[in-house]
A and B are shown apart, each in its own frame.
Chain A
Amino acid sequence: MQFNLSLSASQLFRSVRLFEHLSPEELSAVVRVAQPRRLAAGELLFAKSGPGDGMFIVERGELSVTTEGAHGEHLTLAYLGNGAFVGEMSLLDGAPRSASVEAVAASSGFWMSREAFSALRLDCPSAAMKVLWQLAQTLETRRRGALSRLRLQLAQVESEASLGHEARELLLPLRWV
């Protein structure tokens, strides 16, 4: 049973972009720290603002990523299917969740906790660093995208006086390059 589980996990992990640069040995080390997990339809994987304590890789089923709009309305940001992964940034920074994720249908996959990933950094540092490096590049791509959108938004503002005080306070500490 354990052998079949590992085999299925290896096949799944090999198809995930996050692990594409890993050697077979490194991939095995990653698979060893992942725990199989099942979710019933409607079950919450994690809630917005909850602790950033790990990531989930979807083997089967469907999950939704949701948040609340400015007026408290329910917004669905994405649906995740086989081979998708979510919560991966928590491996980098452990920061609170930026959205909620729940199973739309009965789902299964693998949970990799932040704690287990820390153990991987000791057991197989090359595997952990390859994954972390990939995540850091994703993080930087998102940061550049956010800054571009901010610049576009600011280009439409005519003067500093028309920028709200709150917005000015938020803009000051940003790294623009």
Chain B
Amino acid sequence: MLLSWNAIQTPLEGVTAAQLEAVFGAPEAITVEAGTTFTLRAEAPRTAFLVVSGALHGGGSELRLMPQLAVPRREIAGLGRLVLAEPLEQSFAVAETTVLVALDGLRLEAACTEGDAAAQAIFDAVVMLLSVDLRSSNEALQTLLQS
């Protein structure tokens, strides 16, 4: 089912629906049923997924300790895949029916290299999120090491 970027929220600050449409095309809904798992696949290492509704829950020590951590609505699972291939698979539990939209990092890179202004605006927004995240990760690490 095709959606409209106008009706979708993203964490990409300052990026318009028209810019998303120009780079990624019309958004196609991927519906994941409650009680199943969703996997970021190794064979598509440059694809990230925007959570349109619902949420994805992962595993690992961080989620064992803080079960409220998840990829909620309007966040992007595998955000870093938009700029760098992630060769590992990662699976998420889906507690409620969740709608996702795939974002193709290869398409973003190709459009950026061609000088496409919409792609550059998306790239800048992605980089800002990654940059804030790196600083927060380093701060959290320092706090944990000092505690």
Contact = CB atoms under 8 A, between A and B. Distances in A.
Size bin of chain B's contact surface: 35 or more
A48 B2 CA distance: 48
Contact of B61 (A121, A141, A143, A154): A154
Interface string B51-91: 00000001011110110110100011111100110000010
A125 B124 CA distance: 14
Contact of B145 (A126, A153, A175): A153
A172 B66 contact: yes
Interface of B: 40, 58, 60-63, 65-66, 68-69, 71, 75-80, 83-84, 90, 109, 112-113, 115, 120, 123, 126-131, 133-147
B113 A126 contact: yes
B147 A164 contact: yes
Given A136-B123, A146-B141, A150-B144, A93 B128 contact: yes
Contacts of B130: 136, 139-140, 143
Contacts of A176: 58, 60, 62-63, 69
Contacts of A174: 69, 133, 136-137, 140
A172 B69 contact: yes
Given A164-B147, A177-B78, A170 B131 contact: no
A166 B142 CA distance: 11
A26 to B, nearest CB: 11
